[in-house]
Amino acid sequence: MPSTSHPDARVPAARRVVFVDGVRTPFGRARTDGLYAHTRADDLAVKTVREILRRHPGLPPERVDDVALAATTQQGDQGLTLGRTVAMLAGLPPTVPGFAVDRMCAGAMTAVTTTAAAIGFGAQDVTIAGGVEHMGHHPMGFDADPNPRFLAERIVAADALNMGVTAENLHDRFPALTRERADAYAVSSQEKYAAALASGRIDPDLVPVALRDPEHGWGLATADEPPRPGTTVGAIAGLPTPFRPGGRVTAGTSAPLTDGAASCLLAAEDVAVELGLPVRMRLVAFAYAGVEPEVMGLGPVPATHKALERAGLTIDDIGLIEINEAFAVQVLSFLDAFGIADDDPRVNPYGGAIAVGHPLASSGVRLMTQLARQFAEHPEVRYGITTMCVGLGQGGTVVWENPGFTGQEDAR
C-alpha cells in the first residue's frame, strides 16, 4: 500500500528568469607589463561582485542564493572553488554558498545558464554568475596533462588542442573564408569598438580596479588595454601566421591573450519586481552543442540551431547578435552558415573580442552585458542571442528577450 503519512511533494512551476545587471573589469593584456601583471585573479572577480552589490542596494546580500564563477585554468589565484571564496572575499554573508565552473571559453555562460536553470525550477531566487581569467598568470593549457589516448586512439586530430590551428582548419574547410575577409572583419571590430567607446557605450559596464606595481606604485585601471584604434587592413595584411607557415590566421584576426573578470545578477522575474531590481533581459532558451574538436570554431552553429528550435524561433527573428570573436574566421563561418552578411548591423555593434580581448571564462557575461545595453537602445528588437565557440569542439548559445520591446519590429 502507498504511504499516506505525508502529502505529495510540491512540484514547482517554471518561472521566468531575468538578467538584472552585469559588470566587468577593464580588460588587460596578458603579459608581464600588462595592467594586471601584479593583481590576483580572484581579486578581479571580487571587484565585479562588489560592484554588482553596490549598484543594487535594494538587494539584501543574504537573498543571494548562490554564486557561480568560472575559470578555465583552475589553479593558483583562480582556483579553490572560486564561487565560494570570491563570495566570502566580496563580503557576502557566510550563509551564501558558491561553486566553480569550467567549460573553457563558455565558463561564465555556463555559470549563468546553470544558476538560471535553478531559478527557473524554483530552487533559487537570486544568483550571481560570472567568470575570471588571468591568462598572464595562467596561460591556457599550462600544466595540463591530456590523456595520451586522445591521440593514440585518434579520438581527436593531433592539432585539435591548439585553438589557432583549429581556426586555420576552418580556412581550409571553407574556401570562401579568405584571409582578406578575415582581415576586413578584424578591422571592422576595432572600428566598432572605438566608436562605441567614443559614444559612451563601454564605460558604464566597467568597474575600476586599483593596481599596485612594485616598480611604479599605485594606479587605477579604468579602460580596456587591448584595443588598437586606427588599425587598417593594410597594417595587418603583412602580419605573420604563427599557427602555420603560409597560413591565414594572424594576431590581427585573433582575440589577444587577456586578463579580466565579469559578473552578472540573475533573478526570478517576480523576485526582481519584489526587490525593485531592473529587468534588462529575459532568458528564453539556451543550448550547448559539440563539433569535431579540430574545427572548434563551428560550435556556435549547431548550438544556435538547437537554441532557436527550443525557442520556436528562426535566425530571422533575431535582431541583435553578440558573438565572441575568438578568431575572425570563426565568426565568418557562423555568418555564412546562417546567410548573414559580414557587415550585418545586428552583429557585434560594439565590436568584439578581437578588439577588446577574450579573458576566456569571463567573456560570456561580457556578451550578455553588452546585449542588455543594446536592447535598451533598440526597443524595436524583441530577441537577441549571445553565442560563442568553446575549446575542444563545443558551442554555446543563449536566446534573450528584450523587456522593452515596443511591438514595432524593424525591417532588419
d(CA 332, CA 173) in angstroms, rounded, equals 13
36 burial (CB, 10 Å; 0-12 / 13-18 / 19+) is buried
Beta-bridged to residue 262, according to DSSP, are: 24, 131
Beta-bridged to residue 283, according to DSSP, are: 400
List the grid coordinates of 275.
Answer: 526587490
389 flagged as catalytic? yes
- DSSP-assigned letter for residue 326: S
134, 137, 264, 389: the catalytic one is 389
The DSSP bridge pattern shows strands 28-29 and 98-101 to be unpaired
Do the beta carbons of residue 146 and residue 161 sit within 8 Å? Answer: yes
d(CA 372, CA 322) in angstroms, rounded, equals 10
Q: What angle do CA 361, 304, 326 make, to 5 degrees?
A: 40
- DSSP-assigned letter for residue 9: P
Instruction: Give long-range contacts, CB 8 A cutoff, 24+ apart: 344-349.
Output: 345/412, 346/318, 346/319, 346/320, 346/321, 346/412, 347/321, 347/323, 348/189, 348/192, 348/321, 348/322, 348/323, 349/192, 349/196, 349/320, 349/374
d(CA 257, CA 252) in angstroms, rounded, equals 12
Selection from 192, 84, 110 nearest residue 360 by Cα:
110
6 flagged as catalytic? no
- State residue 179 phi and psi, 5-degree precision: -65, -35
- State residue 164 phi and psi, 5-degree precision: -65, -35
Helix axes 179-198, 328-337, angle to 10 degrees: 100
d(CA 195, CA 349) in angstroms, rounded, equals 9
Do the beta carbons of residue 227 and residue 194 sit within 8 Å? Answer: yes
105, 134, 171, 305: the catalytic one is 105
56 flagged as catalytic? no
134, 138, 358, 378: the catalytic one is 358
User: Could you give the residue numbers annotated as active site?
Assistant: 105, 358, 389
